Amino acid sequence: MIVGTKIPRKEGLQKVTGAARYVDDIVFPDMLHGVTVRSTAPRGKIKAIHFAPSIRWNEFTVITAKDIPGKNYVALITYDQPFLADTVINHPEEPVVLLAHHDKHVLEEARRAVTIEVEALPPVLTIEESLAKTQIVWGQDNSPHENIFKEYTVVKGDVAAAFARQDVSLFEAEYATGAQEQLYIENNGMIATYSAQDGVTVWGSMQCPYYVHKGLLPLFALGDDKVRVIQTETGGGFGGKEEYPTLLAGHAALLAMKAGKPVKMIYDRQEDMAATTKRHPSKTRVKSAVTKDGDLVGLDIDFVIDGGAYNTLSPVVLSRGTIHSAGPYHTPNVRVHSRAVATNSPPHGAFRGFGAPQSIFALERHLDEVARKMALDPVALRKRNFIRQGETTATSQTIREPVDLAAVLDKALAAADYDAKKKRFLAMNPSSVVKRGIGFATFMHGAGFTGSGEKTLASVVGVEALANGHVRVLAASTEIGQGTNTVFAQIVSDTLALPYDMIDVAQPDTRDVPNSGPTVASRTCMVVGKLVQSAAIGLEQTLVNAGDYKHGAGADAFAAACAKYIAKHGSLKCYSQYQQPANVEWDDKKYQGDAYATYAWAAYVAEVSVDMATYEIRCDDFVAAQEIGRVVHPVLAEGQIEGGVAQGIGYAIYEKVVWKEGRMANGQMTNYIMPTSADAPPIRVLFDEQPSPHGPFGAKGIGELPMDGPAPAILNAIAMALDVSPRAIPFLPEDLMALVKK
């Protein structure tokens, strides 16, 4: 078997030799370049658009909302976001005018020569202002839901009764997280062509080709067969290329339609950082009821995220954050009230972790504070309350699979030498300028879409055998650096007992591959990979039923059987569609039931040093232990964890989005500070394997999990080192200085 081995990745050779073609490597004859002219006001009414007479506008292709042939909205969850603003401005990066020209330098001059005259209106810039309804910026005449994109309530047991008990202590505090930029290596980019005969074709850097396909259909009022979306090589996404590429694809295609020529639009780094989606800022108030022995008998959580100007994916982000907010604990009484609110910043959207990093940060910091105030061991407090097989989550989901998070935590603590270091640090810190601390976080992360999401998606995957015996995987799931192509090939290779080199993965192209759903939500390996495995089994069974093959007969016999079948029938393909397992049940109205088919479980330990002369905070060592089912590819899995931990370190103590009137004021890599390799500590990755029946060969999802744990582990370590209670991230030197002086 090659599942579980360090096989070379499928696209590795093309990438290291430079043969891989990214969207900006692609050139069409007579191709134009396109740019976007944006608003600068956070909120207002468009009074006029002025084009300076110094520019020869007859040489340019110019698009405004009036040129849109179909519907002026981005089709996603709700249809509130326009492709181009027509009368109203709702954030300071709102696209208003599109320009195209052969010369990129002339194009930039023209962009600066367009002025959008706006009658300013008072903006809403914070969560507090939105909830206070100082101005209604979304959902007018929809009281009490004005300024609220989505709201959830999760109830388990009787929280009021738990808090009224005489044998409990009550604790309450508020925690905050800031926005975070995905900062993928390759900026957003698209190329579009248009013809009356073929319709719209776009090539681009993206995670979800069928999201783009869905978004372009109403924009151009075209049928399914007249919109084609092709994913090019993609240099990272982290959620930032989930929904946003639809907007950019629409812009490029509108210009191509009017110009009658191919149009390429590539954002530079500053525009990409300022205009595209980010992680949702959040505020979480946690109230807990705890007995003197450390039993967590009640949790009351109020969780709010800032959605920005439009709904985009905020309901889905809110959902995952809501469900994960009570953590991996068996708490008999839980109430979670959550809201996604509207403000006048650019829309926030998908980012690795999808709301869970925000709410998990709050709970894991809170539990450390509870342990400290009650003089309890934070390790013992967690272990006493860990959920076990047969017990229920906050959504009343019964955990059916074996889980031993205490063992995972023990493995992480032992690898970090937690007990000895904590004792040593506490002894040395009073006399040292450089204070040291060690902290941990324990958490879980659901794999796949929430609740009925996978059932609604009804994803389809195909496999195709060629006459030479090679097998192609047909799926819209994209390779964005995480290893999709390699993992799919491993699964098919072992399922069919064929050499890895005989398995290929088709380029995601909506003309050629079925809709296997978006490349998000820790679902690609587990959910889509299981469909790949099923389709491969079906393909082999077709040959077996034809009497030409038996499993394990070898590559030559397989190729001969394929050639014979294709000669007779023309092609050999098999498809598999997602069917929700019988024991997975979810009630969307009550928001209760099986939120996910399965979970991954983790314990992360961070060691920090804090220089009290400079207030510099460094993460010096990190241990990441997790149970993720079967590890399909050890190197890729370890890389996923290391990358997620590095992003989590940035989220915790480096990366701060500075807002000014709704606009990102530090949209350059010189002043948006992210950790470099010099700032990253040694990251030791440990795996437990508890195979799950829901994934191929027992695999679970992994991609989002490592984003959840670093921030609370690091801040718990800082709290231990300094005997303070930091409750907001990013926690920068100036924040530490203010907290210590206070």
Taking only the tens place, the pLDDT of each residue in 642-659 is 999 999 999 999 999 999
The residue ranges of DSSP E strands in 141-292, in sequence order, are: 148-156, 168-177, 189-195, 199-204, 227-231, 263-266, 282-291
- The whole-number pLDDT of residue 143 equals 84
Return the amino acid letter for 131.
L
What does the pLDDT average to over 383-402?
Answer: 98
Q: Quote the CA–CA distance of 682 and 447 in Å, as a whole number.
A: 27
What does the pLDDT average to over 130-157?
Answer: 95
pLDDT at 66 over 90: yes
Q: Quote the CA–CA distance of 648 and 444 in Å, as a whole number.
A: 15
Alpha helices in 224-301 (DSSP H): 244-259, 269-275
pLDDT at 678 over 90: yes
Q: Is the pTM of this model over 0.95?
A: yes
Q: Quote the CA–CA distance of 379 and 48 in Å, as a whole number.
A: 62
pLDDT at 144 over 90: no
What does the pLDDT average to over 627-636?
Answer: 98
pLDDT at 741 over 90: no
Tokens standing for 678? 């010099």
Over the stretch 294-334, which tens digit does the pLDDT of each residue have? 999 999 999 999 999 999 999 999 999 999 999 999 999 99
Phi (first) and psi of residue 584, to 5 degrees:
-100, 110
Q: Which residue bears the tokens 């039931």?
A: 593
Tokens standing for 343? 């403000």
- The whole-number pLDDT of residue 142 equals 82
Helix or strand holding residue 490 (H, E): helix 484-496
Q: Quote the CA–CA distance of 233 and 505 in Å, as a whole number.
A: 13
- The whole-number pLDDT of residue 742 equals 82
Phi (first) and psi of residue 577, to 5 degrees:
-115, 145
- The whole-number pLDDT of residue 363 equals 99
Task: Give Cα 694 distance to the centre of its chain.
Answer: 21
Alpha helices in 69-198 (DSSP H): 104-112, 127-132, 159-164
Tokens standing for 77? 């969850």
The strand pair at 471-474 and 460-465 is best described as antiparallel
Q: Quote the CA–CA distance of 481 and 283 in Å, as a whole number.
A: 32
More confident residue, 741 or 510: 510
Q: Which residue bears the tokens 């009497």?
A: 547
Q: Quote the CA–CA distance of 442 and 440 in Å, as a whole number.
A: 7
Return the amino acid letter for 207.
Q
Each residue of 664-674: b (16+ CB within 10 Å) or e?
A: bebbeeeebbb
Rounded to whole angstroms, what are the CA distances from 413 to 242, 337, 601, 624? Answer: 36, 33, 15, 10
Write a three-state SS string for 153-171: EEEECCHHHHHHCCCEEEE
Helices (H) and strands (E) in the chain, counts: 20, 28
Q: Quote the CA–CA distance of 226 and 218 in Å, as a whole number.
A: 11
Considering the chain, what is the average pLDDT of its residues?
Answer: 97
pLDDT at 356 over 90: yes
- The whole-number pLDDT of residue 433 equals 98
Question: Which domains can be identified in the chain, with CATH numbers?
Answer: 23-121+188-266 (3.90.1170.50), 282-450+589-741 (3.30.365.10), 453-577 (3.30.365.10)
What does the pLDDT average to over 496-513?
Answer: 98
- The whole-number pLDDT of residue 41 equals 97
Q: What secondary structure letter does DSSP report for 632?
A: S
Question: 326 near 359, Cβ under 8 Å?
Answer: no
Over the stretch 237-273, which tens digit does the pLDDT of each residue have? 999 999 999 999 999 999 999 999 999 999 999 999 9
Q: Quote the CA–CA distance of 481 and 297 in Å, as a whole number.
A: 43
What does the pLDDT average to over 712-741?
Answer: 97
Question: 440 near 605, Cβ under 8 Å?
Answer: yes
Question: 711 near 729, Cβ under 8 Å?
Answer: yes
Q: How many Cα atoms occupy the beta-carbon half-sphere of 286 within 13 Å?
A: 27
Over the stretch 397-428, which tens digit does the pLDDT of each residue have? 999 999 999 999 999 999 999 999 999 999 99
Tokens standing for 133? 């309804």
Cα angle value 63/65/68 (rounded, 5°): 80
- The whole-number pLDDT of residue 225 equals 96
Return the amino acid letter for 172.
E
- Say what percent of the chain tops pLDDT 90: 98
Burial class, 332, CB count within 10 angstroms (exposed 0-12 / middle 13-18 / buried 19+)? middle
- The whole-number pLDDT of residue 79 equals 96
Tokens standing for 150? 């989505």
**Bridge partners (DSSP) listed for residue 437:** 608
pLDDT at 141 over 90: no
Over the stretch 470-486, which tens digit does the pLDDT of each residue have? 999 999 999 999 999 99
Q: Which of 140-154, 276-290, 528-542 has the lowest mean pLDDT?
A: 140-154
> Quick one: which of 286, 268, 383 has its CA closest to 334?
286
**Bridge partners (DSSP) listed for residue 255:** none
> Quick one: which of 509, 501, 420, 589 has its CA closest to 206?
509
Query: Using 50, 70 and 90 to split pLDDT, how confident is the model at 587?
Result: very high
Q: Which residues contact 612 (CB under 8 A, 6 or more apart)?
A: 433, 434, 435, 740
